Structure formats: structure tokens, C-alpha cells
């Protein structure tokens, strides 16, 4: 060809492979496709094997390999399988990082966050597994560590795991950001500790009067049905419901337990934990609990008036 036998100039190689001469020149300068000779004027020449080499370089580059890895394969210093295995791990890490970035940006957009809030969320999202575990362990020690509870229950609390999986979804990362900020809030910890003190049985003691509100879903379902039926908290129907659910229990103690849970945002905490774990959780019962609190206030004020 043009006095060079079967050899190709870089322009001809470009036409043969569909790549630009600029790209081929760059790959050549980087040692990925070395010329087999040069013209009298110093222009690079390539042979038929160079065409196959260019196709391999293009394939590896499209798969995301850097030129250093491409040269390792071409020079025989590593197999495609070995390089691919390393690259898969790198891609997995990039995917995880991109998921975190997407989750943070999605949360920033949803909350219309300030620059300071964005920086905090980004830091929380990118904590290592060890750092995340330390946050939860500190929270458990501060909130649960002071409770007077049965050893069996204390063991369950100690073994409680709240962490992101290796491949978190954007929703899990979003929930973790919110949960991590919540459990590090000293005010939230104090409110949750008060709630747990009122609703957790001491060793050898029966459950407090209001504990069934939180541990028995039937209570929430009963209230939900009453609301659906149009019963208001200050109506006789609500008083009958209170009597049926709590009998002769101290309604003032029940109300105190319920209000502590509402104040501690126990429902928000429960749902965030479920989202971080990727678990399905019962619907948010905050409105039902607030209705029940209003009905209990009416009942307790009525009982006080009768005394």
C-alpha cells in the first residue's frame, strides 16, 4: 500500500477500525499499539496484527480498563481474567460510591438542604462499617445501658444490629442518614430513654400499663377502625373503646407512657430502623396514637371530675 506493502499508515488504520487517528496516536504514544515500522518521513506504520490489537484495546477500554491494565494484558504480564477480576471489584466499589452519592443528592433535593446539612449528610453516608457500628453502639449504651431490665432482654439489645448491607439501595442510605443524625441527638436519646423506662418491665415485674400500646399492634388496629368509623376522641364511643382496651388499668399511667412515646418519636425511629435493614414495617401509626392520647386525656379528665 502506497509503497509500504501491506503496512498501514495511522490514517488507514483509523479508517479500517472506525477510530480517530487522534485516538490511535494517543494509544500508540502510551505503548498500547506500537508501530511495526516508520516511513522515510518518520510516519508510523502498522500491520494486520495491529488491527486485531486495536480491536482488543477498544474492547478493554469500553469495559472501563485503564491503559495500564490494557498494557498488562497485551504484554502478557496478566491475563484478561485476572485483570477483569480486579476490575470487577473496582467497579463494585464505584457502584457503591455512586449509590451513596445518588442517595445523598436525592435527600438534599427532597429536603432542600443547606450547604452545612449537605456536608453532614455526605459524611454520615460515607462512614465505614466500623464507624457506623460505633455510632449505634454508643447510642445503645447511652439509651439502653441505663435501663433496669431482664438479662435476657439486655442480651437482645446488645446483639441488636442496625447497619447498611453491602449493596444498599438509595432508600436505605437515605434512611441511614436520617437515623444516624437522630440517634446522635442527645435530646432524642433522653426522650427515648424516658419512653423506654415507662414501657419496659423491670426484672420480675409485670409490664407497665401502657406497654401494650407499643408491643401489641391490635391496639393500633382498633383505634384505626374507630377513626375510620368517624368516632371522635371526646365521644362516648371513644370512652367505651378505652374501657375495653385497658379495663381497670391506671389510665393516667397509660397516658404518660403513650405521650412519652409520641414525644420520643418512637414510630419514626421504628420505621427508620426497618428501612435501613430493608425490611417491611407496619404503617406509621402516629395519627392513631395521637387520637388515642386525646381519648385518654378525655377519659382521665372525666375520671378526675367524678372524684
Instruction: Name the residue among 101, 161, 105, 108 with its Cα closest to residue 126.
Output: 101
Is the per-residue pLDDT at 170 higher than 90?
Answer: no
Average pLDDT of the chain, as a whole number: 84
Q: What are phi and psi of 91, to 5 degrees?
A: -65, -40
pLDDT in tens, 194-238: 998 888 877 777 777 777 676 567 888 899 999 999 999 999 999
Question: 83 with 69: CB under 8 angstroms?
Answer: yes
What's the mean pLDDT in 47-59? Answer: 89
What residues does 46 pair with on adjacent strands?
Answer: 8
Q: Which of 210-219, 240-249, 284-293 has the lowest mean pLDDT?
A: 210-219
Banded pLDDT at 68 (limits 50, 70, 90)? confident
Is the per-residue pLDDT at 258 higher than 70?
Answer: yes
Is the per-residue pLDDT at 106 higher than 60?
Answer: yes
What's the mean pLDDT in 114-134? Answer: 77
What's the mean pLDDT in 17-23? Answer: 92
Helix, strand, or coil here: 45?
Answer: strand
Question: 281 with 275: CB under 8 angstroms?
Answer: yes
Domains of the chain, residue spans: 8-74, 127-306
Distances (CA, A) of 99 to 77, 117, 160, 167, 174: 33, 19, 26, 9, 10
Helix, strand, coil tally for the chain in percent (to 5): 70, 0, 30
Question: 291 with 298: CB under 8 angstroms?
Answer: no
Helix, strand, or coil here: 9?
Answer: strand
State which CATH number among 1.10.1270.20, 3.40.220.10, 3.40.30.10, 1.10.1660.10 fits the domain covering 8-74.
Answer: 1.10.1660.10
CA dihedral 174, 161, 260, 255 (to 10 degrees): 120
Supply the Cα-derived Rg of the chain in whole angstroms.
33
Is the per-residue pLDDT at 284 higher than 70?
Answer: yes
The answer, as to whether pTM is greater than 0.85, is no
Banded pLDDT at 31 (limits 50, 70, 90)? confident
Amino acid at each position: 500500500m502506497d509503497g509500504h506493502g501491506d503496512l498501514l499508515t495511522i490514517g488507514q488504520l483509523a479508517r479500517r477500525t472506525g477510530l480517530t487517528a487522534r485516538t490511535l496516536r494517543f494509544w500508540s504514544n502510551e505503548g498500547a499499539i506500537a508501530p511495526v515500522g516508520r516511513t522515510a518521513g518518520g510516519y508510523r506504520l502498522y500491520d494486520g496484527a495491529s488491527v486485531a490489537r486495536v480491536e482488543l484495546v477498544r474492547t478493554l477500554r469500553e469495559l472501563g480498563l485503564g491503559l495500564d491494565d490494557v498494557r498488562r494484558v497485551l504484554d502478557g504480564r496478566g491475563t484478561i481474567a485476572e485483570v477483569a477480576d480486579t476490575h470487577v471489584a473496582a467497579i463494585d466499589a464505584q457502584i457503591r460510591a455512586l449509590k451513596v452519592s445518588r442517595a445523598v443528592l436525592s435527600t438534599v433535593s427532597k429536603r432542600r438542604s443547606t450547604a452545612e446539612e449537605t456536608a453532614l449528610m455526605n459524611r454520615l453516608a460515607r462512614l465505614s462499617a466500623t464507624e457506623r457500628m460505633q455510632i449505634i453502639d454508643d447510642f445503645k449504651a447511652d439509651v439502653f445501658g441505663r435501663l433496669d431490665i431482664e438479662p435476657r432482654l439486655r442480651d437482645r439489645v446488645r446483639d441488636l444490629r442496625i447497619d447498611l448491607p453491602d449493596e444498599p439501595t438509595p432508600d436505605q442510605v437515605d434512611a441511614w442518614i436520617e437515623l444516624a443524625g437522630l440517634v446522635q441527638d442527645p435530646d432524642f436519646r433522653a426522650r427515648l430513654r424516658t419512653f423506654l423506662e415507662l414501657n419496659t418491665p423491670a426484672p420480675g415485674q409485670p409490664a407497665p400499663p401502657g406497654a401494650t400500646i407499643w408491643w401489641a399492634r391490635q391496639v393500633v388496629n382498633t383505634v384505626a377502625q374507630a377513626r375510620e368509623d368517624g368516632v371522635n376522641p371526646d365521644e362516648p364511643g371513644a370512652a367505651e373503646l378505652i374501657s375495653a382496651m385497658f379495663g381497670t388499668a391506671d389510665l393516667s399511667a397509660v397516658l404518660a407512657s403513650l405521650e412519652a412515646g409520641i414525644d420520643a418519636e418512637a414510630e419514626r425511629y421504628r420505621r427508620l430502623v426497618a428501612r435501613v435493614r430493608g425490611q417491611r414495617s407496619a404503617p406509621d401509626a402516629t395519627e392513631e396514637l395521637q387520637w388515642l392520647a386525646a381519648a385518654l386525656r378525655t377519659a382521665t379528665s372525666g375520671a378526675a371530675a367524678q372524684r
